[in-house]
Amino acid sequence: MSYTFEAVIKNKLGIHARIAALLVKTVNKYDAEAYIVFHGDKVNVKHLIDVISLSITQNSVVEINIYGTEAAQCSEESQQLIENSFGEMP
């Protein structure tokens, strides 16, 4: 099973280290592989440094691709995390 969604990063500082770590932690809870695509670069969400290296800024649109047996649950939680600005003020 696979899921793909686009999301707008609303956080003032974009995806910085703490936020990237939250995303990595969320994806690692599931039997799933997740990739984030930004400006043509695709990285594995389970690799913190790779996610940070994308330099995703506020109001950027990213694509998230999730595959695996628990892709639905992983996708749902990841979308919710992003939509809620990772628990930060946008």
Residue 40 DSSP label? T
Q: Select which of 7, 14, 16, 21 is catalytic.
A: 16
> The tokens 């695996």 sit on which residue?
68
All residues at 6 or more sequence positions from 66 whose CB lies less than 8 Å from its CB, including other chains: 2, 3, 4, 27, 32, 33, 34, 35, 74, 75, 78
Is 16 marked active-site?
Answer: yes
What residues act catalytically?
Answer: 16
